[in-house]
Structure 1
Amino acid sequence: MKAKKWSEHVYRVGSEEHLNVQNPDDDKNIELQKKHIEPWLAAVFQSEHLSLLLGSGFTKAVADQAGTSAADMACDYNAFPLDDKLKDAAQNAAETMARGEANIEDQIRVASSLAQGLKILGDDRHTKINIALDALFKRFLNGISKTERDLKSAVEKCAAPEPADAEPAAREEASEKLDPLVMLVSFLLSFSSRTATRERLHIFTTNYDRLIEYGADLAGLHLLDRFVGCLEPIFRSSRLDIDMHYNPPGIRGEPRYLEGVVRLTKLHGSLDWVYRNGFVRKVGLTFGPQDDHPAINDQPSDSVMIYPNSAKDRETSEYPYVELFRDYAAAVCRPNSVLVTYGYGFGDEHINRTIADMLTIPSTHLVIISFGDEGERISSFCKQVGRKAQISLLIGPHFGNMPTLVENYLPKPAIDRITIRQTELLRNRGWEPAAHKNEEEER
């Protein structure tokens, strides 16, 4: 049977499949789509095990709403010896993983391999490559820092009271646009507001910035990761599944699970990770540090723990890479597990293979939310795994737009619980909800 071609806007939830959605921004269509999508996601998010995989599209979505831009991922070969060879190798690596144009991650990985090879051969050009690599790393880290600064400034501006002398036109424009602070917090709470007795939400990300941590602070979420300590937490290999509980007032010996607890794993490392004295540490780096911050030194490639995307499994065996990917595989590859991806372009073969392995378990489910199908990587992946019933789709500029997603399609668990109780109360009193009455009248 020939697979149907996807259009720009696609959604598939449960038994509803629409691969050629026309005018999804129309108010009537949004209401119809919401009836299909929101209840389905609400049910899926309360599954036994829930994981969320966030790619670079997550930061870009928040940055776009805040009127800023995400860090530039473009390559820069100007200061590198053998720049033509590096460019060809990086491009071949990108094409091998069906990602189109090479980015800075490909360049860093290829340049590091070249420097190591030249050093083994005794070629002095490895020194020049390392110097150029440090400069490239520094520019990349400064770009991430600038993104964090801009996002922080935009969010703090939204939290500040509006000046009394603001122009009416500016007020109206601001009121029509969803506040990036509200959007970020609502997005995270839609996934993390699970019943406390269920398995904690586990967030995985390939991003190096700390936008998730920043949003969790704003939302009042408690993050659990592999780092142990207070001043400079150290990455530990032990997996103790530490959790948070509390004792209700007046009750002793019966601790209850604390709500709003989330596990976080950063698969490619983070801006605030450093390797020092044999340990991977998380340093005290403010959100949006200045370019001259002492934690980001003149040789960041030797100290800042950032791992470019893994093209070969041997690269993922390096510490602490192996621990991060073990957590990822252990969290998603188990029965009754749901993985939701947002802003992830399916350009990392190792991550994709783990998702494919997860789908071999019949009770698992994958929800893909994306602004687009760049390079047809998502559609190719879905065709390759061939498990249509286990994959839900929300693809396109409408469904992948975070403000639209938050306002219309993502469930709001706190409201859901109140609505359920209200419906039960009205039914017990013999009063049918208005929506139910309208449906009966239409019949």
Structure 2
Amino acid sequence: MKAWGTHVYRIGNEENLDVQTPEESKKIELQKKQIEPWLAAVFQSEHLALLLGSGFTKAVAYQAGTTAADMACDYSDFPLADKLKDAAQSAAKTMGRGEANIEDQIRAANALAQGLKILGDKSHVAVTSALDSLFKKFLNGISTTERNIKTAIEKDVASEPVTTSPGGDRAVENDDSEKLDSLVMLVSFLLSFSSRTATRERLHIFTTNYDRLIEYGADLAGLHLLDRFVGCLEPIFRSSRLDIDMHYNPPGIRGEPRYLEGVVRLTKLHGSLDWVYRKGFVRKVGIPFGPQEGHPAIDDQPNSSVMIYPNAAKDRETSEYPYVELFRDYAAAVCRPNSVLVTYGYGFGDEHINRTIADMLTIPSTHLVIISFGDEGGRISSFCKQVGRKAQISLLIGPHFGDMPTLVENYLPKPAIDRITIRQTDLLRNRGWETTSHRGGEEES
């Protein structure tokens, strides 16, 4: 595989690996005629999964005029900081990630604390205390990101003049810029993937993010999320893999329940801000989106309670639970015939996730679509070269294709199950008339 340029674009076997100035309007129209129909067909595959990485949160935060919490390490409060830094960096290189992030640091610090405790060295208390401080700082960073995004979205909704776009979607006029409204962008992005016919299996969203931006966007879009948690006040994580779904009874029809549209499965592979280990169970506690610092639902010692991978509530089998169950769901969802996995904002820096994707591609009828703002560290190109399977991988990489507003406005399919347009097109084709499809008020021959 030759070296990639700034913009990478490949749909199936179409070779466009060095796209020059893709922002030009004429080139966008040409690219749209290839990309949008292809993605529309891909999104109606028998099995569809969406893997969202930190780039998803960064994209929404950027559009909202703020920044997302970073994953940078902080060794300032740790004893044996140099040794800890070397161990974290070594682990990151082993996983092919390059620079260590906070997950590598936490993993190394947990191992250090356990080793010191086994040796009877009392300095393990200082390491555990530093871990609690690190966790609190990290959780506050996630909370701040949520709060800033929520504030920006609510401000846009309350203050911006609202019009209706030609396609019927909500549009916002902004005299200062033509920036797409962050609320419209978030909702349209999720709906483009989740708008599947009820005869297809539900979209399954997987994410490595700890924030609740997906849940927040699903609430705004009116989507119903299904996960492993059962209960109302403090839902408990259950290991049973029952295919629970949602149906409704059409008026006047008895005994023929139909699938409810707008239902999505969600699996947070690395845990969540609102997951805690309490009284022998993993529970989802009531934390509002964008909580203030010091929220009472977050323990003073989050390292021993908050279920964020790889946290330290690990005195028993919790070192693998519930993550082993979540990754089992992930492998079962993507490694089967006629399945499609779309990644957005995922930098291919987690070896355990990449291994499953590589296993998926050994099934000839599967397909991988990679959408990313860039190829940091060359990890995406390295992964594609390693697995081969060129015909099974589609690429939309670069600041143009990975920019969420550009993606939503130009390349993602219409966020609706448009049976009327489909039926109209079929009728025109059957009658031998020229067909013209309408999408978002624009005409495409």
Partner of 1:400: 402
Match of 1:16, SS state, is coil
Alignment of 1:187-206 (within 5 A): 187-206=189-208
Distance 1:135 1:317, change over 3 A: closer
- In the other structure, the counterpart of 2:9 is 11
**What count of residue pairs does the alignment treat as equivalent?**
426
- 1:353-372 alignment to 2 at 5 Å? 353-372=355-374
Distance 1:415 1:46, change over 3 A: closer
- 1:289 match: secondary structure: coil
Q: CA offset at residue 421 of structure 1?
A: 2.8
Change (3 A) 1:230 1:266: same
User: Could you report, residue by residue, the CA deviation over 1:74-96 in whole angstroms, capped at 9, with x for unpaired residues?
Assistant: 11111110000011111111122
Secondary structure of 1:362's aligned partner: coil
Deviation (angstroms), 1:158: 1.8
- Of the candidates 128, 137, 140, which is equivalent to residue 138 of structure 2? 140
In structure 2, the residue corresponding to 1:73 is in which secondary structure? Answer: coil
Return the alpha-carbon distance in structure 2 between the equivalents of residues 323 and 383 of structure 1: 30
Give the aligned residue type for 2:255. Answer: G
Paired position in structure 2 for 1:118: 116
Residues 51 and 339 of structure 1 are in contact (CA less than 8 Å); yes or no, is this contact kept in structure 2? yes
Give deviations 1:117-153, integer Å, cap 9, x for gaps. 0000001110001011100000000000000000111
* Structure 2 counterpart of 1:338, from 337, 340, 356: 340
Counterpart check, 1:423 vs 2:425: yes
Q: Assess if the C-alpha contact under 8 Å between 1:61 and 1:401 holds in 2.
A: yes
TM-score (norm: length of structure 2): 0.92
| Structure 1 position 54, deviation (Å) | 0.3
Q: Deviations over 1:188-243 (max 9, x none)?
A: 00000000111000000000000000000000000000000010000000001100
Task: Find 1:107's aligned residue among 102, 105, 108.
Answer: 105
Write out aligned runs for 1:50-129 (5 A). 50-129=48-127
Residue 30 of structure 1 deviates from its aligned partner by 0.4
Listed as ranges, the gaps of 5+ residues in structure 2 are 163-171, 312-316, 439-445
Deviation at 1:47, TM superposition (A): 0.5
Q: Give yes or no for the alignment of 1:186 onto 2:188.
A: yes
* Structure 2 contact 197–417 (Cα < 8 Å) conserved: no
**Which residue matches 2:384?**
382
Q: Cα deviations across residues 33-76 of structure 1 (Å, max 9, x unaligned)? A: 11111111111110000000000000000000000110121111
Task: Measure how far apart 1:17 and its partner are.
Answer: 1.7
Note closer, same or farther for the CA distance 1:430–1:347 as it changes in structure 2 (3 Å cut).
closer
CA deviations 1:247-295 (Å, max 9, x no partner) are: 0111111100000000000000000000010000000110011111111
The CA distance in 2 between the partners of 1:195 and 1:237, in whole Å, is 28
1:155 matches 2:153: yes
Gaps of 5+ in 1: 165-169, 310-314, 437-443
Residue identity matched to 2:290:
G
Name the Cα RMSD after superposition: 2.2
Distance 1:426 1:200, change over 3 A: same
Shift of 1:334: 0.4
Q: Structure 1 residues 7 and 403, CA, compared in 2 at 3 Å: closer, same or farther?
A: same
CA distance in 2, matches of 1:147, 1:336: 37
Alignment partners' CA distance in 2, 1:51 and 1:270: 19
Letter in 1 for 2:65: G
Residues 239 and 432 of structure 1: CA distance in aligned 2, closer, same or farther (over 3 Å): same
- Offset at residue 16 of structure 1 (A): 1.5
* Residue pair 1:98, 1:375 contacting (<8 A) in 2 also: no
What CA distance in whole angstroms lies between the structure 2 residues aligned with 1:199 and 1:234?
25
Q: 1:265 — aligned with what?
A: 267
How far residue 316 of structure 1 moved from its aligned partner, in angstroms, is 9.7
Measure, in 1, the Cα distance between the counterparts of 2:248 and 2:161: 42
Spell out, residue by residue over 1:388-415, the C-alpha distance to the aligned partner (whole angstroms, 9 max, x if none).
0110111101011100000000111527
Change (3 A) 1:316 1:295: closer
Indicate the residue corresponding to 2:168 in structure 1.
Answer: none
Cα distance change on mapping 1:174 and 1:266 into 2, 3 Å: farther
What secondary structure, in the 3-state scheme, does the structure 2 residue paired with 1:366 have?
strand
Could you say which residue in structure 2 is the equivalent of 1:167?
none
Distance 1:171 1:412, change over 3 A: closer
Query: Secondary structure, in 3 states, of the residue corresponding to 2:155?
Result: helix
